[in-house]
Chains A and B, each alone.
Chain A
């Protein structure tokens, strides 16, 4: 719930920074979908976490040192809005001046994303694709639907269909050819 509110607030922050595209994404993904997914996960799992105390002695210094190093790193960064910052010197002037003529699009963000950095965007789409496939394989959306073809009865879900202990090694080899088979059909 807090993360949903945080995402909505940062979406507003992005709008004031004139990054409307990022604000869109943040509001829809952070405020909407990931909150729903988190709540769904909470509904599936228990409320209590397993108490584990021994590790904090190592974890606390590691977190503090990492955080300190990151803050130290920000001291070297150019000031916010500095026109002489390195990022504004390299290819940005060309994008701002020429992308209108070269792509015919007034939205520079779109022309950079889709055209100049097309490879990057394709990589991102592949990452999303892989994430979807990973969720399907891990949560067994494909196998369970196949074993229970009639969706008329939603509740009687045999618990032995999913066994978290053995799911990884057992499911994957048998799942791959079946997925391929279904795609062909």
Chain B
């Protein structure tokens, strides 16, 4: 892809807004459309675009496979950990009402944490799958 000047320039312009939009979808998902899954997919798509244009090696220098693999499990851990935390605080599993004095605030905290977990896992899994496919070039 070294010779595709238009693709390289346009991708360089597009990738930062894509990643920023992913973060917006992640943290604004409670109020607007979107949420963890969508944000994770968009974030992963931004990285995949970078890897397509600039090569998998460069993309893996930004997101090392070891780190991505840790992130895959970290998201699930956050989600399940929120549930366990609720148990410790005396509620039911994934019952966010107990996470703060006010049930509504508790719900808010719980939902943001859970969506963050979803987003991390989804983005990392998308990158992992793409790297696994793209790294097998003959």
Contact = CB atoms under 8 A, between A and B. Distances in A.
B125 A129 contact: yes
Q: In the complex, which range does the number of interface residues on chain A fall in? A: 35 or more
Contacts of B108: 103-105
Contacts of A169: none
A40 B45 contact: no
B136 A139 contact: yes
Name, among A101, A118, A142, A145, the residue most crowded by chain B CB atoms within 10 Å (CB to CB).
Answer: A118
Interface string A18-43: 00110011001100110011001101
A128 B122 contact: yes
A139 B133 contact: yes
B128 A129 contact: no
Contact of A44 (B33, B96, B103, B138): B138
Contact of A125 (B76, B110, B126): B76
Contacts of B36: 114
Contacts of A107: 29-33
Contacts of B125: 128-129, 131-132
A59 interface: no
Interface in B103-122: 103-105, 107-108, 110-111, 114-115, 117-118, 121-122
B118 A37 contact: no
Contacts of A20: 33-34
A173 B132 CA distance: 20
A117 B37 CA distance: 15
Contacts of A51: none
Given A104-B108, A122-B80, 13 more contacts: A21-B33, A33-B44, A36-B52, A36-B130, A102-B107, A103-B104, A105-B107, A114-B110, A124-B37, A125-B75, A128-B125, A135-B129, A144-B135
19 contacts: A21-B33, A24-B34, A33-B45, A33-B130, A104-B104, A104-B107, A109-B35, A121-B79, A121-B118, A122-B79, A125-B75, A125-B117, A125-B122, A126-B76, A128-B121, A129-B73, A132-B128, A141-B128, A183-B69
